Structure 1
């Protein structure tokens, strides 16, 4: 089980390779895990947004989690996405993650429905109480249309096993406020969920990032964190700027396929996105290849 001091660094929300029937592909998943761990990441997050969590039934989710826990084999902490629309389903996923041996769960705000703040608080509180695992909140208002306000976050941070939040929002002022209102709470940390804002989040006292680009360029993303922590601020900001063209590649196709296409170009052979999402166009694939060439990743 994760201790709050271990919630840090670069945690990629790993892509989920699938077979021709769109079921979890074990060998592909193992390849992705080994690739990111060899790049020096500080954790692995399975069934996040980049992992197409919304696309899988319970059995596939369980399989993905069990494969990940077994294959990571305690090399780094394993975070499991336990996100769904209903509290009941999130609790079911959190219990499954705990039984499978995960180190922590990550829970997104509900999507499609619009809970008020009291309903949202009750939702996260019930999930936290259902498991002995640490819980990391996941705010992604662009995708879910629900936002964890600063005042709600302050209340949720007082729940014993809610130990952090990943903020995937371009409202950086909100990240700063999250950090400000929890600064004196030694049992709570704030992570960047936007790959544009890793350096900035660290500068304000954040603990690290959950970065989709770390699927593809783990070593570069790790450089931002490790150089910053070592006091090499120029090296860290240079690495941050170097990462931006890869983050921009998300615009080349429907989310979240660009990172899968990147990994296929790099030779990992992890297959297709789950329909209705499809691969990037041939023109955009060439643009992605140039980004990867410029980062020196295609020569590895």
Structure 2
């Protein structure tokens, strides 16, 4: 059954990059430009301080500035999700309370990283954390960075927690995604969203609720168009839209592939598009001049460079 595109915890929710100055401070001009860019593209929410937002690499002050200024710029126009994961529960709770006071709508939590805990410990950890969180909470499954997957049975055991309203899956495992959909079907208010954007069309067809797609920083409208076409009652051929998303994904393949390189290339693409700076937080290295040239070529082909367009892309999607 197709999902309701009007729910606030569904749709396309870009994991915003964190625009930074060369000194590692928050670039407020870049942040406002980025938020207005994705809002104009029709996105359904904003996710800050996640993986793409380099959350774990930012100091506490910059994290709080990102929360405060994102809420100020968003002005309640769409929900704000904030990643609060830390190795210490007290720090996660502190950031969540700050986010609630600033006006955020959801918090997003991963398993604790560093110590390799089991699923019994993980369940206890989430229950202890949830008891202190002030906002509806999305679980975030990304074992490639946390070193720990949230097992389907762990998700099932947490469904009695009303505060848990969904899960973002960035594992890239479609079998896992299907299992979570099956488990979550007992709760109409539980959303299951996908991270890897090349799986967005497939997961929407399976009944997924949307995508937290890094590419939506660069080209938000194409992801929104694909989502809205997928959940509409009409039979729409989404293959051309999906093709553009696949082409956009070529940016991530420029140079050696890694999660950190993907973040740097996303920022470089945004810099080329004159949206925000390409500065990254250590240990993430910026892209080099050769990579920048190739990323520029991909963006030109897709009509993403200001003042240029691609004849094969409908004008309504050049936004």
TM-score normalised by L of structure 1: 0.94
Q: Of the candidates 76, 80, 92, which is equivalent to residue 78 of structure 1?
A: 80
CA distance in 2, matches of 1:86, 1:240: 40
Whether contact under 8 Å (1:157, 1:164) holds in the other structure is no
CA distance in 2, matches of 1:238, 1:255: 24
Match of 1:129 in 2: 131
Deviations 1:61-116 (A, max 9, x none): 11110000111001110111111122222112111111111011011222222111
CA offset at residue 234 of structure 1? 4.6
CA distance in 1, matches of 2:235, 2:268: 32
CA offset at residue 201 of structure 1? 1.1
Match of 1:262 in 2: 269
CA offset at residue 255 of structure 1? 3.6
Question: Which region of structure 1 is more displaced relative to structure 2, 224-233 or 14-23?
Answer: 224-233
Q: Unaligned stretches of 5+ in structure 1?
A: none
Q: Cα RMSD (Å) of the superposition?
A: 1.6
SS of 1:243's partner is helix
In the alignment, structure 1 residue 284 sits paired with structure 2 residue 284? no
CA distance in 1, matches of 2:236, 2:287: 34
Q: Unaligned stretches of 5+ in structure 2?
A: 1-5, 256-260, 310-319
Match of 1:162 in 2: 164
Question: Which region of structure 1 is more displaced relative to structure 2, 290-299 or 157-166?
Answer: 290-299
Match of 1:97 in 2: 99
4+ long deviations beyond 3 Å: 231-235
CA offset at residue 119 of structure 1? 1.5
Whether contact under 8 Å (1:11, 1:43) holds in the other structure is yes
CA distance in 2, matches of 1:7, 1:180: 18
TM-score normalised by L of structure 2: 0.89
CA offset at residue 159 of structure 1? 0.8
SS of 2:7's partner is helix
In the alignment, structure 1 residue 244 sits paired with structure 2 residue 246? yes
